[in-house]
Amino acid sequence: MTKFSDLALDPKVLQAITEAGYETPTPIQAQAIPHALEGRDVLGIAQTGTGKTASFTLPLITMLSKGRARARMPRSLVLAPTRELAAQVAENFDIYAKHTKLTKALLIGGVSFGEQDKLIDRGVDVLIATPGRLLDHFERGKLLLTGVQVMVVDEADRMLDMGFIPDIERIFQLTPFTRQTLFFSATMAPEIERITNTFLTAPARIEVARQATTSENIEQQLIEIKPSRKDRAFAEKRAVLRALIEAEGAACTNAIIFCNRKMDVDVVAKSLKSHGFNAAPIHGDLDQSHRTRTLDGFRDGSLHLLVASDVAARGLDIPAVSHVFNFDVPTHPEDYVHRIGRTGRAGRKGKAFTLATPADEKYLANVESLVKQPIPRGVNPLPEGGGDSRPEPEPRKSSRSRRPAREEQPVEAAAAPRERVAEQPRDRKDDRKSDDRRNDRGRRNDRDDGRVVGMGDHVPDFILRSLARQVPMEAGDADASPEAAGEA
C-alpha cells in the first residue's frame, strides 16, 4: 500500500502531513502527486470527497520550496469557483505549509481591496482566488500573471455551471504558455473537455472513479410525497423533512439540507428554527462574514442543521457530516452527486434523503439516468399526503353555513320599505310626484322578481320623470278639486 513517504514530497510537507494525522493517500492523491512532481500537466477526474485538494496542494508546496516571490507577481495560481472553496484551499495550504516560509494571498469577494493589495504588493508564492476577484485586481493594474509557474483549476465543472468559463479562458491567456497546469473536475462536460484540449499539453489523465458515480458509503433513500393540495406541497414537504430528522434521532449528529432556490433556503431555515431545530441558512446573497460565521459554527458543532443552496454543494470539506437532505430534487443531475457527496467522506458512513413530489418526475429520471441506478425508495414518516397529521381547520365551511342568513336579511329589509310606501296615503299634492316615483320603482322591482335591472336604485331622477302623468281621483278625497285634477 502506498504511503505519503513514498511520493517524493518535501520532508517539511511530510512532517505536516504526519502532524495532521494522515498516513495513506487516497487513490487520486497517490496517482496525481507523482505526475505533478514530474512537471507534467494533470487532468484529474474524481467524485467529490476523494481528496482532490491535497492532490494539488502537496506537490505545489514541494515544487515552490525553492525560489522567491516578487511583488505583484505570484509564483502559482489556484482558481476556485466559490469563496468557501477558495477559503478551504487556503486553510489546507496553511496546514501543509506551516513548516515552510511560503506565503499566500486569498482574493475573494466580500473583502476590501486594500488588504488584498497589501498582500500582493509584498509578493506571494501562492495566490488563491475566485475568477471574478482575480480579474478585478488585474484590471486595476495591481496584479501581473506573467510569473505564474503552476496554475491549478479546481472544480472546473462547477466553474462551467456558474458561467466562469470565459473568465477561465481569459486567465489562461494571461499566464505564460510554459506554465504547468493541474486541472481537476468531478465530471467532464463537452465544454470542459474543449478547454483541456486547448490549454493543457499532453496531460496525465487520472480517473479514479467512473464519472457521476455515488459513494458506496452513502445510504440513499427517496421519499415520495403526494401533496393533499398543490398549494400545500411546500408546507407538507417541510413537515416530512422535520419528521425525517426526528426519526433519525441521535444518529443525525449534523446535516446539510439542500434547496434549489435561495428564497426557499431562508424559508426552510426559518421554519426549522420555529419548530425548535438548531438551523441556519447559507447562500450566495448573504454577506461573506455571515457565511463564514455560519460555516465555522457548523464545523465546530455549535450549529446542527445547515440549510444551503448549491453554493455549499461543491468542494466544502466538512468530514463529519452524518446526513444530507435534498429538500428539492436538483434540476441539474450532476448536482445530486455533489450534494450527497457532502456525507460519507473519508471512509465514514452517511445517509442521503431526497424528497420528491410528482412534479419532480422529470428531474428524478435525469438523476437516475446519470448515476445508472434507481434511488432506493424509503417510507414517508407521515400519513399519505405528506403533510401534518393534524386535522385541517375548516373556516370555509362555517362561513358558507352562515352565508344564507346574511343574504336573507337584505331581501327582507328591501321588501319592508315597499310595503310601507304602499300603505302611506297620498294626502298632499306636493308628495304625489315623489310617491309615484317610489311606486314606479317598486313596481319595476316586483315585475323583475326582485332583480336589479339597469342602474337599479342609482338611476338619476330626471330619467324617472314622465312627461305626462295621470293621477286617478280617489273616492272620498275631500281635498281634491277639478282644478287639481286638470292640472295633473
pLDDT in tens, 205-227: 998 865 556 778 899 999 999 99
d(CA 33, CA 35) in angstroms, rounded, equals: 6
Do 86 and 147 fall within a single domain?
yes
Query: Are residues 306 and 196 part of one domain?
Result: no
Residues 291 and 365 in one domain: yes
Residues 291 and 166 in one domain: no
- CA torsion sign, 368 to 371 to 376 to 381? negative
Query: What does the pLDDT read at residue 411?
Result: 40
Residue 322 confidence (pLDDT): 94
What mean pLDDT do residues 105-127 have?
91
Phi, psi of 42, rounded to the nearest 5 degrees: -125, 130
Note whether 14 and 125 are same-domain residues: yes
The secondary structure of the chain in percent helix, strand, coil, rounded to multiples of 5, reads 45, 15, 40
Domain carrying residue 454:
415-487
Tell me the torsion sign for CA atoms 407, 409, 414, 415: positive
Identity of residue 254: N
Residues 328 and 367 in one domain: yes
CB atoms within 10 A of CB 188: 17
The contacts found for 158-166 with CB under 8 angstroms, 24 or more apart, are 158/81, 158/82, 158/314, 158/315, 158/338, 159/79, 159/81, 159/131, 160/189, 160/191, 160/192, 161/332, 161/334, 162/81, 162/82, 164/81, 164/131, 164/132, 165/191, 165/195
Q: Report how far residue 340's alpha carbon sits from residue 324's, in angstroms, rounded to the nearest whole number.
A: 6
Q: What integer pLDDT is reported at residue 47 of this predicted model? A: 72
Return the closest-CA partner of residue 47 out of 258, 339, 320, 363: 339
**Which of the two residues, 290 and 318, has the higher pLDDT score?**
290
What CATH number corresponds to the domain at position 283?
3.40.50.300
pLDDT digits (tens, 9 = 90+) for 384-395: 545 444 443 444
Whether the predicted pLDDT of 183 surpasses 50: yes
Residue 410 lies in a domain: no
Q: Residue 402's pLDDT band (boundaries 50, 70, 90)?
A: very low
201 plus 244 within the same structural domain: no
Q: How far apart are CA 96 and CA 20, in angstroms?
A: 8
Compute how many other C-beta atoms are within 10 angstroms of the C-beta atom of residue 461: 9
Residue 359 has pLDDT above 50, yes or no: yes
What is each CA distance from 486 to 428, 466, 467, 472, in whole angstroms? 16, 17, 15, 11
Final residue of a domain: which of 314, 344, 371? 371
Task: Return the residue matching grid coordinates 337599479.
Answer: 456
One domain, residues 38 and 165: yes
Considering the domain architecture, whether residues 166 and 245 belong to the same structural domain is answered as no
Judge if pTM exceeds 0.85: no
Task: Pinpoint the alpha helices (H) of 162-228.
Answer: 165-174, 190-199
Does residue 402 lie within any of the structural domains?
no
389 within some domain: no
Residues 308 and 186 in one domain: no
The answer to whether residue 390 sits within a structural domain is no
Residue 398 lies in a domain: no
Of 180, 207, 234, which one is at a domain's C-terminal end?
A: 207
Domain boundary among 371, 393, 423: 371
CA 265 to CA 1: how far, in whole Å? 44
pLDDT the model gives residue 160: 83
pLDDT number for residue 488: 40
Who wins on pLDDT, 362 or 459? 362
Average pLDDT value for the chain: 81
pLDDT tens digit string along 434-445? 555 555 555 554
Buried b (16+ CB within 10 A) or exposed e, 343-359: bbbeeeebbbbbbbbee
What was the pLDDT predicted at 439?
54
Same domain? 139 vs 10: yes
The predicted structure's pLDDT at residue 330: 92
Give 43's pLDDT tier (boundaries 50, 70, 90). Answer: very high
- Is the same domain home to 419 and 299? no
* pLDDT tens sequence across 257-309: 999 998 999 999 999 999 999 999 998 788 878 888 998 899 899 999 999 98
Render 369-424 in DSSP notation, one character per residue: HHHTSPPPB---SS-TTSS-SSPPP-HHHHHHHHHHHHHHHHHHHHHHHHHHHHHS
Report whether pLDDT(179) > 50: yes
pLDDT of residue 484: 44
Mean pLDDT of 342-366: 90
299 grid coordinates: 464545523
Q: Please report which confidence band the pLDDT of residue 472 belongs to, taking 50, 70 and 90 as the band edges.
A: low
- Range scoring the smallest mean pLDDT among 30-44, 244-258, 338-352: 338-352
Residue 383 lies in a domain: no
Residue 22 scores a pLDDT above 80: yes
Domain presence at residue 399 = no
* Cell numbers standing for residue 80: 476556485
**Which of residues 447 and 319 earns the better pLDDT score?**
319
Provide the number of structural domains found in the chain: 3
Whether 386 is covered by a domain: the verdict is: no
